[in-house]
Amino acid sequence: MAATKKLIAEIGRDNVGFVLDSWHWYTAGETEADLLTLTNKDVIACDLNDAPAGIPVDEQMDLSRELPCATGVIPLKTFLGALVKIGYDGPIRAEPFNKKLNALDNDAAMAATAAAMKKAFALVE
């Protein structure tokens, strides 16, 4: 995140910012303190997902993710809590790369995703 902040500063435009991703935040070893260095203005959007259980962080594969709160591997309460603390008010979307979810029909996949997002948001209510 620090390197990206430097790059954004070098670009010098007010329409460039972060698309935060809970999976990348987790696998990069970032912390709540790292998130708290950002402001609402710094964040363009947010992708929310969880990581498969039983896989060490350094062996996680980018295209294998879970719905938010599915496994509890990623500390989403910490992640979302930091977004609340910085006053983030932009979009948050689920971004699971998950074969099981993709195999569902659209209505079932949408219902599962909506339930997961509601569960995640309830962590910080």
pLDDT reported for residue 57: 97
Contacts of 46 (CB under 8 A, 6+ apart): 19, 20, 21, 22, 83, 88, 90, 91, 92, 93
Contacts of 115 (CB under 8 A, 6+ apart): none
* pLDDT tens, position by position, 101-119: 999 999 999 999 999 999 9
Q: What is the residue range of 37's domain?
A: 2-122
- Which residues are bridge partners to 104 per DSSP? none
The structure's pTM equals 0.92
The DSSP call for residue 100 is H
Q: CA nearest 20: which of 7, 34, 125, 6?
A: 34
Which class for 65: exposed (0-12), middle (13-18), buried (19 or more C-beta within 10 A)?
Answer: buried
Taking the CA atoms of residue 17, residue 42, residue 92 and residue 60 in that order, the dihedral angle to the nearest 10 degrees is 70
Domain of 40, CATH number, reads: 3.20.20.150
**Distance (Å, whole) CA 80 – CA 94:** 13
**Distance (Å, whole) CA 2 – CA 25:** 12
pLDDT reported for residue 96: 83
> Are 79 and 35 within 8 A, CB to CB?
yes
Number of domains in the chain: 1
Instruction: Kindly give the parts of the chain with pLDDT less than 70.
Output: none
